[in-house]
A and B are shown apart, each in its own frame.
Chain A
Amino acid sequence: MDNNDANQVMAIGGGGADADISLLDILDHVLNAGVVIQGSLVISLAGVDLVYLGLNVVLTSVETALKNLEGK
């Protein structure tokens, strides 16, 4: 696949250990909107809804947690 202008990403492997599957996608599938707080995940920083800035901004802070899990 030509990645210079990659307009398609096929990330195979719904299992948790693959680095290419983002936390965002895992949560998208394992969470039921009815169970989570009214269907949206909102993280606040200085009163701004970070979900609109892209959760990837915040996800780097949980990389350690994911690495720990991979070791189990």
Chain B
Amino acid sequence: MGLVCWASRVSRYEFVEELAGNMENLDWLATAGVRHQNVVSDLAGLGTVLPARFGTVFLTLDSLQKDVARRKPELLKSFKKVAGADEWGIKVFMLSQPSPPIEAESGADYLRQKSAALKSQTRKRGQFRDLNPEVKLFSAELQKLAIDSTSGGRVSSGQTGLEWQTSILLPRKKQKSFQSLVDGYARQWQGKRRIECTGPWPPYSFVNNG
């Protein structure tokens, strides 16, 4: 069974030599990251796609082909797993509590105090068992609908008020049930919590990268 692999040529300077520095440059990361998602998303419209994460770089076409050939058994398993399903990101936010006023001597001082206050408010990535029981229940019900789930992105983990987040692999035929589930919890949590869902994404988090 043949596999088709889509690769783009990129600047070696940007993606190899300067990659570490570029990953910390939000302007570069934003442009390149969005371009990556645009291409993957377009391909996903054509059929089942196993997306590579941003920054997966092979120095030669030959090394790419060898890598794909080596991983073929796991890739075929992954295709079966994600067929007819999409990745969805779910975030639960606590609605903001009023915070004490900040008295600062300078702009930088204000930022420092604000940062410290927000750090103590924002729940650290703690144990699942420390989560609010209602959120745990929400998580359990999501798991019933999903093929698989993972703890979700690192980039947004510093967001204010973020209580919990996950990425799930959801079969398309379960999309209505998923919407109902989220609607139900949104009603239940009116005034207390906000739920944000994004999707459908290509299944970035559910490819075995062996």
Question: Contact residues of A with B, CB < 8 Å?
Answer: 5-12, 14-17, 21, 23-33, 35-37, 39-43, 45-49, 51-55, 58-59, 61-62, 65-66, 68-69
Contacts and interface: CB of A to CB of B under 8 A. Distances in A.
A35 B41 CA distance: 21
Interface residues of B, number: 65
Contact of B158 (A7, A21, A27, A55): A55
A30 B199 CA distance: 13
A47 B108 contact: yes
B37 interface: yes
A31 B53 contact: yes
B23 A58 contact: no
A7 B190 contact: yes
Interface of B: 20, 23-24, 26-27, 29-31, 33-38, 40-42, 51, 53-56, 86-87, 89, 95, 107-108, 111-112, 114-115, 118-119, 122, 152-160, 167, 179, 182-183, 186, 189-191, 193-202, 204-205, 209
Given A14-B202, A29-B87, A29-B204, A8 B194 contact: yes
Contacts of B167: 29
**Most B CB atoms within 10 A — which of A11, A61, A65?**
A65
A15 B22 CA distance: 23
Given A8-B195, A29-B198, 20 more contacts: A5-B191, A7-B186, A8-B182, A10-B182, A10-B197, A14-B198, A14-B201, A23-B33, A24-B155, A24-B156, A25-B153, A29-B167, A29-B201, A30-B33, A30-B54, A31-B55, A36-B55, A51-B158, A55-B156, A69-B34
